[in-house]
Amino acid sequence: MLAMAAAGAGLALVSAVAQPAGAGRPVKIVALGDSLTAGLGLPADAAFPARLERALAQKGIAAEVVNAGVSGDTTADGLSRVDWSVPDDTDAVILELGANDALRGLDPAQVRANLDAILKRLTARKLPVLLAGMRAPPNLGADYAKAFDAIYPDLAGAHGALLYPFFLDGVAAERSLNQGDGLHPTAAGVDVIVERMLPLVEELVGRARAR
């Protein structure tokens, strides 16, 4: 009996060691962003993090998607709060910042430096990241757009992050998918974003579970 009990305890220990960290609980994804993440003008259950969490659940993926979006935030603001906005029990991060920098015509070199610093902090913590890209408004000219738009693919490649090239893909400039300001998606617009981004988020979850 003692031998059987010892063998059983040994098997239980091996199983516990082999089980990935965080198994048995939902994967915690922090969505760090601005008003596009926060869901400005929408009820809380229609914001991007809530809709994404629901879409993952419909796929049978247990995940908690935390809304760490702050309306008006620039990349500098995100950098200033990244350490406390992404708590220790985080498993993965969706990083969506830069729209306000572009709207204000801020120097792309500084935007790049801020996002690079955020990514360095997250990768130092061994957190998988999905970087959501942004595009410069056309009124800022071709030179600005060239410098700004290149930031996201360059940094994703440098840090090994997943890249969703344009957060508003399929939604930008679509009147029926945007609120009256023409900048923030309606609930239907958020659903389009979630649907298009979902395969990459599933890959992000896979990376989180493999940590």
81 lies in some domain: yes
Structural domain span for residue 201: 25-210
20 lies in some domain: no
Identify the band that residue 199 occupies on the pLDDT scale cut at 50, 70 and 90: very high
Task: Tell me: pLDDT of 12 over 50.
Answer: no
Instruction: Please give the tally of structural domains in the chain.
Output: 1
pLDDT tens across 28-76, in order? 999 999 999 999 999 999 999 999 999 999 999 999 999 999 999 999 9
DSSP state of 93: E
Euclidean distance between CA atoms 2 and 137, whole angstroms: 72
* CATH code of the domain containing 166: 3.40.50.1110
Identify the band that residue 211 occupies on the pLDDT scale cut at 50, 70 and 90: confident
Task: Tell me: pLDDT of 123 over 70.
Answer: yes
pLDDT of residue 128: 98
Catalytic positions are 35, 181, 184
Q: Which residues of 155-173 are buried (b: 16+ CB within 10 A; e: fewer)?
A: bbeebebbbbebbbeebbe
7 lies in some domain: no
Q: Which amino acid is present at 79? A: L
83 lies in some domain: yes
CA angle in degrees (0–180, nearest 5) for 202-127-61: 25
pLDDT of residue 23: 52
pLDDT tens across 87-119, in order? 999 999 999 999 999 999 999 999 999 999 999
User: For 158-187, what is the mean pLDDT?
Assistant: 97
Token pair of 166 as six digits: 């344009």
79 lies in some domain: yes
Euclidean distance between CA atoms 148 and 93, whole angstroms: 22
- Mean pLDDT estimate for the chain: 91
Token pair of 8 as six digits: 């059983």
Cβ-proximal residues to 203 (8 Å cutoff; 6+ apart), any chain: 162
109 lies in some domain: yes
Identify the band that residue 77 occupies on the pLDDT scale cut at 50, 70 and 90: very high
Euclidean distance between CA atoms 73 and 60, whole angstroms: 33
1 lies in some domain: no
19 lies in some domain: no
